[in-house]
Amino acid sequence: MQYGLVHIAAGDLLREEIAAGTEKGKRAKEYMEKGLLVPSEIVVMMVKDRLLQPDAQEKGWLLDGYPRSLEQAKALEELGIRPDIFILLDVSEENLVERVVGRRLDPETGKIYHLKYSPPENEEIAARLTQRFDDTEEKVKLRLQTHHQNVEDVLSTYEDVIVRIKGDAAKENVFAEIDKVLSSVKEKKSQASMDSKAAAV
């Protein structure tokens, strides 16, 4: 990733548990199949442990799909974990459904494709692509309902660091907007660190 951040996705951590056949994974899948939030007693520790690992602590992190409820946001606050920035992508429901339903995973490389917007490079890759069990139109609509029930609570925790970005544009344009925001955060942080070093001298 361009910024060297460690990408931590709560959904990926849950899918790893499912793939490993653990008890946690089995329980989580029941909720995921219904588009519901997996209970916090499973998710919170999992995300917390990942965030506290040395790579994420050293390089910084991009947390994806977490927090998804007020309880989860509070759990982070209690640990003193606060993002420098909270990016909210505004995407129309129609586009969200299209993006999710066309999404595919290359199980060999972990790369994510979209049949229309980011198609596989060749036939060999195309033949091995898989689809997530919850990437159907029916399931994404259930996930959206859960999202609408919780989003305001989560946003209220991060009012001071939220940046809204229009997410309906092509991915290159959306990335360009995100890039601007992240560059400016990086600049501010390195300035602050230089200031504090100067003050210590």
Q: Interface residues with ligand AMP (CB under 6 A)?
A: 10-11, 14, 31-32, 35-38, 43, 65-66, 68, 72, 134, 143
Of 148 and 186, CB closest to ligand AMP? 148
Of 134 and 182, CB closest to ligand AMP? 134
Least distance from ligand AMP to the Cβ atom of residue 27, Å: 11
Of 93 and 195, CB closest to ligand AMP? 93
How far, in Å, CA of 145 to CA of 149, rounded?
A: 6
A 10 A CB-CB count for 88 gives 14
Least distance from ligand AMP to the Cβ atom of residue 74, Å: 13
Please give the structure tokens belonging to residue 96: 């969200």
Closest CA to 146 of 54, 11, 19, 1: 11
Least distance from ligand AMP to the Cβ atom of residue 187, Å: 29
Of 65 and 102, CB closest to ligand AMP? 65
Least distance from ligand AMP to the Cβ atom of residue 121, Å: 24
Contact 103, 117 (CB under 8 A): no
Of 40 and 118, CB closest to ligand AMP? 40
Least distance from ligand AMP to the Cβ atom of residue 48, Å: 11
Contact 150, 68 (CB under 8 A): yes
Least distance from ligand AMP to the Cβ atom of residue 198, Å: 39
Of 26 and 189, CB closest to ligand AMP? 26
Return the residue nearest ligand AMP (CB atom): 11
Q: Which residues have C-beta within 8 Å of that of residue 12, sequence separation ≥ 6?
A: 64
